[in-house]
Amino acid sequence: MATEVIMPRVDMDMTTGRISYWFVEEGASVVSGQPLFEIETDKAAMEIEAPAAGILRARAPTGVSLPIGSTVGWIAAVDEVFDLPSETGNLAGEAVPRADVAVPIVEALIEAAAPVGDGLIRATPAARSLARERGLDLASATGTGPRGRIQASDVLAQVDAKQKTSRISTSAGLLNAAWLRQGTGDPIVLIHGFGADLDGWRPFLGSAQLERPVLGLDLPGHGASPLGDMLTFNAFVDATAQTLKAHGVTTPYLVGHSLGAAVATALAAGPIEARSLLLIASAGLGPKINGAFLQGFSGATDEATLAPWLRMLVADAASLPAGFVKATAKQRAEPGLAASHASVAQAIFAGGAQTFSTRAMIDRLTIPVRVVHGRDDDIIPDRHTNDLPGTVALHLFAGVGHLPHVEARDDVMRILIEHVRAAG
Amino acid sequence: MSILTAEAAVMDLAVRELSFAQAIQEALAIALEADDRVFLMGEDIGVYGGAFQVTGDLVQRFGEDRVMDTPISELGGAGVAVGAALTGMRPVYEFQFSDFSTLAMEQIVNQAAKLRYMLGGSVSVPLVFRMPCGSGLGGAAQHSQSLEAWFAHVPGLKVVEPSTPHDVKGMLLAAIEDPDPVLIFEHKLLYKMKGHVPHGHYTVPLDKAEIRRRGRDLTIVASAVMVLRVLDAAEELAKLGIEAEVIDLRALRPMDTGTIIESVKRTGRLMVVYEGVKTLGIGAEVSAAIAESDAFDFLDAPIVRLGGAEAPIPYSPELEKAAVPQVPGILEAARALAKGHL
């Protein structure tokens, strides 16, 4: 009887592992304890030894995420005629009662499916909708399901991997930034609001055709950016300007949401020669801000306590995307991030009011400026958009709260595309 | 409170178990007691007590006018039942084997199901057909079928298929009180199964599925005796770390698709297990309901149907077992589905 080789668990958080290298060829002989293959996890690479002596059979492919405990190969006795044990057999440690009636159900189900190699992307509906939501091109994902089918877990793995590789290393004083879209020409720069991070833009970008590269960055004390001593609005603006310059961004199309919109305005009025400015639910236009929200959000750390505050962000709670609360809670579980948000809230929105104003800066701008605001914004009132200069285009959305780019995603995307195109 | 009534109260609180057959008999007795319009018809349901001893001694308790043995003519019997229902009676007609309902198709499909519609709502046909069904007792091809999907295809009929003594009593009482024709399918292997049955009158809705077990990894929808097999398989799956959510379909027409949709949105995987022939059956309807629904976007694997073989039920006991889903096969398929092997 052949010995099964399984994907081991080498650290506590691991749910899948990837074989990066086989030290032994298919059909070659191994001795017990000899290094058999190397696995890679998020954290480490590790050699795994052969559990028995014999001939290695049915090696799993390299570079593919495999669940812990799954079979990655077999070691057969030298003189054994090896037949790949059927998937329905009694795998190691799994007590499958013997069938009193043999029904080859699984084989029949597998045979019924279509053949491989039709050149099409094979993905489940769940994977497709998740990819749309996260702005991932399915062609870039590796399917680990049968016949290479991309499953929801594959999309999540790909999103994770992408985030890791696209993070531009943060040198001293600079903010974390990532290219959310590659391309040539002046980039669109996205600056998130209080309590968010650059990943928050991914659902907005989705699969939109933007014709420009897109750079996202994390404000100080947010995402993967340091907070340091940057506890004033001006420090935020300076750090953002330096980060853009460090990435060779000199004439971007600036887009900001809420606090990020105020930062974008200050950048355009000061250190950055922006081509255009798009302000979504902008802070800085007036003094009011929902102090209860800032306090409640800053104090909440888990899904249950965050949910009521996050629902306040949108006019219709149903428009909050599935997973938004979960993702926010997960992000805030990162050590220090909640405290860091609280410091920012205290310093920049002291006493529940906006300590900075961008109103006069907008008057001075000569680039194209558009303002998008929800009529039902409970965080920053829409009346702050009254009395803007006549050269500023104003898009007010009824039935929309503080997240127009989420609640009226397609419309706001269309506005962004037109805006960038018109600015040339 | 006297000692006697206190004791009775205590006994009532204790869980009382009845067999599926006893639960049906109790429901019939309650209905006969409560409503003069209710009467039973069927072949050998009187002195003989019913082919499966379901009606038992009801003829002694309620007399031959209310528990009527009928001649060996399903078409005639069903026709009398439809006529009686039209005059305001509430007949309960037992087929010895639901296979024989094929002889009464005219009355069930063309008369009972249609008359309310064809007469502009001026009449209703409040009758119940009891349909002993399914394989497992060596009844072979003509006494073992699961034809419930045939009838569930006909608007105007209500079709239910309970899996527990509790539900069969409550659904039968609800069926007798319903203004329209209801077919209640009773899997013959369930008759001896015991379970908690409350005393007295209660009803179970004719249009609601029931989640029998909660789980996050896959949804298994099953009906009748398959619910028990799926629950057994689910226990084994749990030992492998797979948590199956098990939905007892109970109602075929109207079908409670909402409960299934909500479940699949949580699990992303669906398997349907039923005894009727796999093709064009319950599994097709449940699968299509999911494919057409909001749950589509949440499917993370192909839908799996396990149904009866594309053949008449054989007489050989081994082949008879092999012709319909059994626990090992359910376990095997559910495991493959949950593990992403399909």
pLDDT tens across B45-71, in order?
Answer: 999 999 999 999 999 999 999 999 999
Kindly state the percentage of chain B with pLDDT values over 70.
96
Does B236 sit within 8 Å of A97, measured CB to CB? yes
B77-99 mean pLDDT: 98
Q: Does any CB of chain B come closer than 8 Å to the CB of residue A318?
A: no
Q: Does any CB of chain B come closer than 8 Å to the CB of residue A146?
A: yes
Q: Which residues of B are catalytic?
A: 74, 143
Calculate the average pLDDT of chain B: 95
Does B297 sit within 8 Å of A129, measured CB to CB? yes
Does A129 sit within 8 Å of B236, measured CB to CB? no
User: Is residue A105 pLDDT above 70, yes or no?
Assistant: no
Q: Does any CB of chain A come closer than 8 Å to the CB of residue B240?
A: yes
Alpha-carbon span A278 to A264, nearest angstrom: 8
Q: Which of A360-374, B164-178, B273-287 has the lowest mean pLDDT?
A: A360-374
B300-319 mean pLDDT: 96
Residue B152 vs residue A118, higher pLDDT: B152
User: Is residue B30 pLDDT above 90, yes or no?
Assistant: yes
N- to C-terminal Cα distance for chain A?
Answer: 70
- The helix or strand, by DSSP H or E, that contains position A326, with its residue range, turns out to be helix A324-332
Going by DSSP bridges, is the β-strand pair B38-42/A45-49 parallel, antiparallel, or unpaired? unpaired
Facing A99 at nearest CB: one of B299, B304, B328: B328
Does B326 sit within 8 Å of A124, measured CB to CB? no
Q: Which of A178-182, B75-79, B175-179 has the lowest mean pLDDT?
A: A178-182
Residue A255 vs residue A117, higher pLDDT: A255
Question: What single letter denotes the amino acid at residue B246?
Answer: V
A240-248 mean pLDDT: 89
User: Is residue B302 pLDDT above 70, yes or no?
Assistant: yes
Q: Which of A185, A246, A191, A193 is nearest to A210 (CA)?
A: A185
CA atoms within 13 A on the CB side of B54: 33
Which residues of chain B lie closer than 8 angstroms to A126, CB-CB? Answer: 268, 297-300
How far does A208 lie from chain B, in Å, by closest CA?
A: 20
Alpha-carbon span A259 to A55, nearest angstrom: 63
Chain position carrying tokens 């439809």: B82
pLDDT at position B245, please?
98
Kindly identify which residue of chain A lies nearest to residue B337, measuring between CA atoms.
A106
Kindly identify which residue of chain A lies nearest to residue B267, measuring between CA atoms.
A126
* Strands laid side by side in the B210-213 sheet: B210-213, B244-248, B218-222, B270-277, B304-308
- The helix or strand, by DSSP H or E, that contains position A198, with its residue range, turns out to be none
pLDDT at position B167, please?
98
Q: Does any CB of chain A come closer than 8 Å to the CB of residue B321?
A: yes
How far does A105 lie from chain B, in Å, by closest CA?
A: 6
Which residues of chain B lie closer than 8 angstroms to A109, CB-CB? Answer: 304, 333, 336, 342
pLDDT at position B13, please?
57
Which residues of chain B lie closer than 8 angstroms to A113, CB-CB? Answer: 302, 342
Note whether B252 and B160 are within 8 A (CB). yes
Kindly identify which residue of chain B lies nearest to residue A68, measuring between CA atoms.
B339
Calculate the average pLDDT of chain A: 81
Which residues of chain B lie closer than 8 angstroms to A146, CB-CB? Answer: 340-342
The answer to whether the complex's ipTM is over 0.95 is no
